[in-house]
Amino acid sequence: MATTGIVEGTGERRLTARQAQLLDQLTEVFLAEGFAGFTLEDLAVRLHCSKTTLYALADSKEQLAVRVVRHFFRRATAAVEARTAGESDPARRVTAYLEAVAAELTPASRAFHRDLEAFPPGRAVYEHNTAAAAERVTAMIAEGVAAGRFREVHAGLVADTVTTLMSRIGRGDTARATGLDDAAAYRELAALLLHGISR
């Protein structure tokens, strides 16, 4: 089979077209139903493949779960950046970024978030990506202040507030405190920013 040209991680073999398809299918299953309750045999039956095919992706169910979570966030990051790239206005760029994050997280069910919370390696991937997204928003805010598009607020304080809330969303604290899922929380954060820092 031809390779996709995508390397899923440093030092990992390139994926065949079939493996890339399986990762996408596993991602959809995990987002919709979680992953803790599945065995490799369950997943092989669901995806009409052999367990050997799944073992080619990872050596265990736990490693497969981590790989799928990484695949989800890598795919989501690319989609978010693509949706934000066309925005030249700093205020619209920040809002578009957070709304794109919300859109990418929308398919993630409560079961997925529950399993992620209980699975430290997967939770670490989530938190790493949340921290990276917070840094991205912080940079966008700084650009907007420098360009005069954001009102005279303390950029560091706004950035720290955004980072803190994004970290709380990523840890599940906001969901527990408010009942909002991650996607809804990001939409609310986008609205707060739009009305709070724009001139």
Domain with 120 in it: what CATH number? 1.10.357
What is the pLDDT at residue 164? 87
% of the chain with per-residue pLDDT over 70:
92
Query: What pLDDT is attached to residue 155?
Result: 67
Q: How confident is the model at residue 13 (pLDDT cuts 50, 70, 90)?
A: low
Is 20 contained in some domain?
no
| Model pLDDT for residues 40-75, shown as the tens digit of each residue | 999 999 999 999 999 999 999 999 999 999 999 999
- Whole-Å CA distances, 48 to 23, 45, 109: 13, 5, 23
Q: Checking phi first, is residue 179 left (phi over 0); if not, alpha (psi -120 to 50) or beta?
A: left
Residue 146 lies in a domain: yes
Q: What is the model's pLDDT at position 163?
A: 81
Residue 11 lies in a domain: no
When pLDDT is cut at 50, 70 and 90, the band that residue 199 belongs to is low
Longest CA–CA span in the chain (Å) reads 59
The lowest-confidence range among 14-28, 108-122, 131-145 is 131-145
Residue 192 lies in a domain: yes
- Confidence (pLDDT) at 135: 85
∠ CA(75), CA(76), CA(82), 5° rounding? Answer: 95
Residue 171 has what pLDDT? 76
User: Regarding predicted confidence, which is higher, 151 or 155?
Assistant: 151
Contact predicate 95/152, CB 8 Å: no
Whether residue 115 lies inside any domain: the answer is: yes
- How many domains does the chain divide into? 1
